[in-house]
Amino acid sequence: MIGETDRADWAVVVDRATEEHRRFLSKLRPIEHRSLMQPDGYVYCVRTTDEWETYPFTLESRVTVMQQTVSRARVTKGVAVVLVVLGVAPEQREGKLVMRPAILTTVMGVGRFEQWRYELVQQVEWTSHQVKAYGPLMRQTSLTEIGEWRPDECPDAWPRVVWESGPYQ
């Protein structure tokens, strides 16, 4: 049975994952402005609500890093694994389904949260001098609840330019 303490702990993990998503968004740059040292994404092993381990990855190492992090979370009796990555999300335009660039954040529960999942999807567009983000969509699911996708609670804040090149960049 899911208690109030579990719900409160899960909410803390989801809030932190949302912060990590925003941090990743704030560092997103067009390829010509990206550092070669910038990872393609991050996996987090959440041992407790306060103890998170961070594992950056490249596209080539993503599967291996993810598998190792899930194993580590299970062995250490962690509560979740969080994945934040630039990927694609579907969108319907003019009667067609198109794939658009998006930041994808997934929180997968382990241990006492084994069947819990939180997803955050945020489409982005970029040119060589600007990155624009659109309002995020969120969904939470568990064994007893299949959540609907819901928009950000502040829809007037979107779309928003999250990076723009200056005259000296």
Q: Identify whether 123 is part of a domain.
A: yes
pLDDT for position 76:
94
- What is the pTM assigned to this prediction? 0.90
Domain count, the chain: 1
**Domain of residue 84, residue span:** 4-33+41-164
pLDDT for position 33:
80
In this structure, the number of other CB atoms found within 10 A of the CB of residue 52 comes to: 17
pLDDT for position 1:
58
Per-residue pLDDT of the chain (169 residues), as tens digits, is 568 999 999 999 999 999 999 999 999 888 788 777 778 899 999 999 999 999 999 988 999 999 999 999 999 999 999 999 999 988 888 889 889 999 999 999 999 999 999 999 999 998 888 999 999 999 999 888 888 999 888 777 889 999 998 765 4
- Give the residue among 166, 167, 89 at the shortest CA–CA distance from 122: 89
Encode 24-38: b = buried (16+ Cβ within 10 Å), e = exposed.
Answer: bbeebeeeeeeeeee
Q: Identify whether 118 is part of a domain.
A: yes
pLDDT for position 57:
93
Q: Identify whether 169 is part of a domain.
A: no
